[in-house]
């Protein structure tokens, strides 16, 4: 990947960033970022911005919403506090993400559709081994002090957790 511009470690910039191609931020950025290109937020970078790009790859910290027309990738040790709108989202193990995600083609948010929590499809439901088993019918045999006084062993209560 050829990088067209770099905001290196130790640098700070505040404002509106527009670019073509690929830009990497390793320092501090505050403001807005717009592009049809690829933004890379490097490890140690701190970005506080509204981001609207084609692709974004995050290794550092981003506070703000991301709208990507193609993809968003969050790689450890990334931290994202904000909402994501993108047709493709990749989150590595070890990434901190606090916000909502809306999968949308073109990266444009639609405000008319209510946000719903993500749920597993029915075909991926928990295996039946983990489901509770029905309890046996109550017995008419007497109990004294919590001791079973019936014939043989008491009925087993099966719970598979």
pLDDT band at 158 (very low <50, low <70, confident <90, very high): low
Q: Is the pLDDT of residue 107 over 50?
A: no
pLDDT digits (tens, 9 = 90+) for 3-29: 888 999 999 999 999 999 999 999 999
> Above 50 in pLDDT, residue 121?
no
- Structure confidence at residue 3 (pLDDT): 84
Q: Give the global pTM.
A: 0.65
The pLDDT tens digits of the residues spanning 68-98 come to 999 999 999 999 999 999 999 999 999 999 9
Residue 131 φ/ψ, nearest 5 degrees: -80, 150
Overall average pLDDT of the 58-63 stretch: 98
Contact 31, 16 (CB under 8 A): yes
Q: What is the separation of C-alpha 26 from the centre of its chain, rounded to a whole number of angstroms? A: 23
- Residue 24 phi/psi, 5° resolution? -115, 135
Spell out the residues 6+ positions from residue 50 whose beta carbon is closer than 8 angstroms to its own.
32, 33, 64, 65
Give the tokens for residue 157: 């209560």
């Amino acid at each position: 990947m050829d990088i067209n511009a770099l905001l290196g470690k130790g640098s700070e910039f505040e404002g509106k960033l527009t670019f073509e191609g690929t830009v990497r931020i390793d320092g501090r950025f505050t403001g807005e970022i717009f592009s049809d290109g690829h933004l890379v937020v490097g490890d140690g970078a701190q970005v506080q911005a509204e981001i609207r790009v084609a692709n974004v790859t995050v290794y550092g910290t981003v506070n703000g919403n991301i709208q990507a027309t193609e993809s968003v990738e969050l790689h450890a040790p990334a931290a994202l506090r904000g909402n994501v709108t993108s047709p493709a989202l990749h989150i590595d193990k070890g990434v901190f993400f606090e916000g909502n995600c809306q999968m949308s083609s073109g990266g444009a948010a639609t405000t008319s559709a209510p946000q719903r929590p993500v749920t597993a499809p029915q075909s991926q439901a928990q295996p039946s081994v983990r489901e509770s088993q029905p309890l046996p019918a109550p017995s008419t045999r007497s109990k004294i002090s919590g001791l079973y006084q019936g014939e043989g062993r008491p009925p087993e209560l099966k719970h598979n957790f």
